[in-house]
């Protein structure tokens, strides 16, 4: 089977398992297969449901994990979305297909800023803006956001990210220990500015480094 056929089978499996629940997420996965966002030497493994290496010692998440977070986010066309931790650019591409408007994504590692930009350009994604910087500070120029999705594990919920959410907005973030185990949290900002937190179970992400995250 070629890469497209292998990827389609992966997506079908995620649908069958109830991990991809919405037609919108299914279509986004089919439009932007993971093999477009990894180095050539890893493309033959991109259909596997496991993390893969990307430059700078980082990883691109397993397809099931990306699908879980996107389904939790309940993205709709027109939403203003911020991603923290661009990595390969794959998740940002999927978000852009779901919201059909500009997406802002912050990446602290210069090598990955360029890697993601190249991948996005090759995939034909024109509405994702990759911003170099400390993702734990968010991106105030385009705030407030309907959704903020964090693709690295934090020691706690970063205050600037909550501040940059709209009332009724949602933050999806892994919170817990450094590089071993976190809980996937759904943080909903209420109208009075307080937050409601739902725990969706254990995950394992690379650490979120920054002023309001882990220290290097």
Q: What are the residue numbers of the active site?
A: 61
214 occurs within a structural domain: no
pLDDT score for 163: 98
Round to whole Å and give the CA distance between 83 and 173.
Answer: 10
Q: Quote the tokens at residue 61.
A: 């998440």
147 occurs within a structural domain: yes
Which domain CATH number covers 74?
Answer: 3.40.50.150
pLDDT tens by residue, 5-29: 999 999 999 999 999 999 999 999 9
Give the domain extent around 172. Answer: 3-203
48 occurs within a structural domain: yes
pLDDT tens by residue, 135-187: 999 999 999 999 999 999 999 999 999 999 999 999 999 999 887 789 999 99
144 occurs within a structural domain: yes
∠ CA 18-64-145, nearest 5°, is 100
The model carries a pTM of 0.96
Q: Which residues contact 78 (CB under 8 A, 6 or more apart)?
A: 99, 100, 101
């Amino acid at each position: 089977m070629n890469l497209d056929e292998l990827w389609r089978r992966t997506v079908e499996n995620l649908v069958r398992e109830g991990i991809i629940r919405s037609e919108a997420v299914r279509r986004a996965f089919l439009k932007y297969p993971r093999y477009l966002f990894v180095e050539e030497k890893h493309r033959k493994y991109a259909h596997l449901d496991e993390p893969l290496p990307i430059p700078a010692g980082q990883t691109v998440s397993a397809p099931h994990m990306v699908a879980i977070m996107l389904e939790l986010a309940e993205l709709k066309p027109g939403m203003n979305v911020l991603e923290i931790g661009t990595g390969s650019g794959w998740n940002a591409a999927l978000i852009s297909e779901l919201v059909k408007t500009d997406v802002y994504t912050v990446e602290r590692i210069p090598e990955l800023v360029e890697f993601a930009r190249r991948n996005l350009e090759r995939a034909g994604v024109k509405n994702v803006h990759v911003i170099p910087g400390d993702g734990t500070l968010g991106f105030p120029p385009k705030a407030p956001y309907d959704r903020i999705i964090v693709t690295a594990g934090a020691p706690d919920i970063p205050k600037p990210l909550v501040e940059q959410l709209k009332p009724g907005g949602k933050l999806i973030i892994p919170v817990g220990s450094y590089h071993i185990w976190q809980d996937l949290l759904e943080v909903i900002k209420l109208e009075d500015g307080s937050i409601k937190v739902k725990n969706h179970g254990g995950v394992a992400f690379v650490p979120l480094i920054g002023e309001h995250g882990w220290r290097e």
